[in-house]
A and B are shown apart, each in its own frame.
Chain A
Amino acid sequence: MGKVIAKEVSIAIAEAVAQCKVDVISAYPITPQTHIVEHLAELVNNGELDAEYMPVESEHAAMSACIGASATGARTFTSTASQGLLLMYENLFIASAFRLPIVMVIANRSISAPISIWNDHSDVMTIRDSGWIQTFAENGQEAVDLIYHAYRVAEKALLPVALNIDGFTLSHVIEPVELLDQELVDKYIPPLRMKYKLDPKKPITMGAIGIPEIYTEAKKAQDEALKASYRIIVNAWKEFEKLTGRKYQPIESYKMEDAEVALIIMGSLAGTAMDAVDLLREKGKKVGLIKIRLWRPFPLRDFLKAIGKVRAIGVVDRAVSHGSTGGPVGIEVRSALYQSNKRPKVVNFIAGLSGRDVTVEDFVELFERTYDAISKKPRFSYEIYGVKE
């Protein structure tokens, strides 16, 4: 196994990407993603990574370059956040519809206005329906492991993967991280061989018009491909466990066995939430935590299994879905529950917008409010938690 070394998570991610032997990196710098691509640029410049680094004029161009490169069969990487992701927007849908195995790290950051460089999930939630596989890392080690996983999955499923890491809370912290031995990486991620690619010797057409007689079929095929990627994603984690001993699941549970109340969270806040679970468990409260690691395709069965027999669920969203019936995760959870006979009470909190701290005490409070939902009908379909009145 590799050595555990203290590293800034962004640097560790860049090194993991380099270990995956990418051919083309195209990115535009934006806080808090910059260190990742900056370090990759250094590795290329120093001759440590044999790849084409394409500095471009915008994120729109960065994603376009990745699409072009990936279409020729190159292994590609980009990274962005916030406004940068929004500037890529139209191309993201093309990348997934073209079934291109692009890997992107989103260092999650709020969206303007008001302008903010701090962390929440409002950027990634805008691409919820884009057809990308979307995973969330909780800490530095997970971020690195999910990079390897992303390439393995993208290239088997022929779909792009967006790996989400919380901006600053993850991207800029120094953590003990183990990078895999190169030998293991090579075993886990074999060279990319794309059956269909742009090749002058064997011309094909990408991006033909989808007239009304065929557009529906094209979308159905794409949707089925994303659903089918679930197996590939889970198997790639099983394979990873065999190689490293580190286990990953689409839905991670913490102390859920006998839980009567659970919170649902994504990303790095899970660590704080687990502390709150421990604190309440000491007081005899049967609480648990559900972490959604795989957001797209949404692991419906795993989710329904994970909630067990809870009486109330508190969904902690990190983004506002203006004018909706909840936060993006809250809406998803309520919809998922309708697929089963389970009917726990669901309360939906929106917390931690633009890097506002959500402390252990806050999570204790959120657990208590979720408890209240068992006996009292919630007054709101969602609530922006901690807002100053």
Chain B
Amino acid sequence: MPKDQGLVSWKKLAPGMFILEPGNSAKFKTGDWRTYRPVLDKEKCIKCGICYALCPDLCYKKDEEGYYIVDLYYCKGCGICAKHCPKSAITMVLEED
């Protein structure tokens, strides 16, 4: 059973379903019901970070070159980043399956 889906035997749960490990919500996959995925065009991107600032799920992280890259493990495909990108560098692309 994949841990990121929260599937465990009832015998392994802590009493009260308490979570004993702080900050483990980072393990939880929230990007599994996305319809559209944001795709960045680095040619147009000016590295302004508006996508990073506005993402409601804090999916964007800066890479070594200074680009903000979405983490699809968490991205729910809301499209706020694409909508607000001043250079229209982000396009929402339909997930294939």
Interface residues of A (CB under 8 A from B): 97-100, 158, 195-196, 203-206, 208, 210-211, 213-214, 216-218, 220-221, 224-225
**Structural contact, A214 and B8, CB atoms closer than 8 A:** yes
Task: Determine whether the beta carbon of B17 is less than 8 Å from that of A218.
Answer: yes
Q: How far is the CB of B31 from chain A (nearest CB, A)?
A: 15
Given known contacts A204-B20, A204-B22, is B10 in contact with A196 (CB within 8 Å)?
Answer: no
- Complex alpha-carbon distance, A249 and B61, angstroms: 63
How far is A97 from B11 in the complex, measured between Cα atoms in Å?
A: 15
Given contacts A211-B6, A214-B6, contact A221 B22 (CB under 8 A): no
Instruction: Determine the main DSSP class of B at the interface with A.
Output: loop
* Interface pair B8/A97, CB less than 8 Å apart: no
Q: Which of A97, A98, A203, A221 contacts B10 (CB 8 A)?
A: A221
Interface residues of B (CB under 8 A from A): 5-11, 13-20, 22
In the bound assembly, the distance between CA atoms of A117 and B80 in angstroms comes to: 58
Partner of A206, one of B5, B7, B10, B18: B18
**Given A213-B5, A217-B10, does the pair A205, B22 have CB atoms closer than 8 Å?**
yes
A208: contacting residue among B5, B7, B17, CB under 8 A: B17
A73 to chain B, nearest CB (A): 13
Q: Do A220 and B19 touch (CB < 8 A)?
A: no
25 of the cross-chain contacts (CB-CB < 8 Å) are A97-B16, A98-B18, A158-B15, A195-B15, A196-B15, A196-B16, A196-B18, A203-B22, A204-B18, A204-B22, A206-B16, A208-B17, A208-B18, A208-B19, A210-B17, A213-B5, A213-B6, A214-B13, A216-B10, A217-B8, A217-B10, A221-B10, A221-B15, A221-B17, A225-B15
Q: Which residue of A lies closest to B7 (CB)?
A: A213
3 nearest CB pairs, A to B? A205-B19, A217-B10, A220-B10
Docked CA distance A214–B10 (Å): 8
CA distance A98 to B9 in the complex (A): 18
Q: How far is the CA of A158 from the CA of B16 in the complex (A)?
A: 9
Q: Are B15 and A99 in contact (CB under 8 A)?
A: yes
Q: In the complex, which residues of chain A have a beta carbon less than 8 angstroms from the beta carbon of B7?
A: 213-214
Given contacts A213-B5, A213-B7, contact A196 B17 (CB under 8 A): no
Q: Residue among B7, B10, B11, B13 with the most chain A CB within 10 A? A: B10
- In addition to A204-B20, A213-B7, 15 A-B residue pairs with Cβ atoms within 8 Å of each other are A97-B16, A100-B16, A195-B15, A196-B15, A206-B16, A206-B18, A208-B18, A208-B19, A213-B5, A214-B6, A217-B8, A217-B9, A217-B10, A217-B13, A218-B10
Residues of A within 8 Å of B19, CB to CB, are: 204-205, 208
Out of A205, A211, A220, A224, which one reaches B18, CB within 8 Å?
A: A205
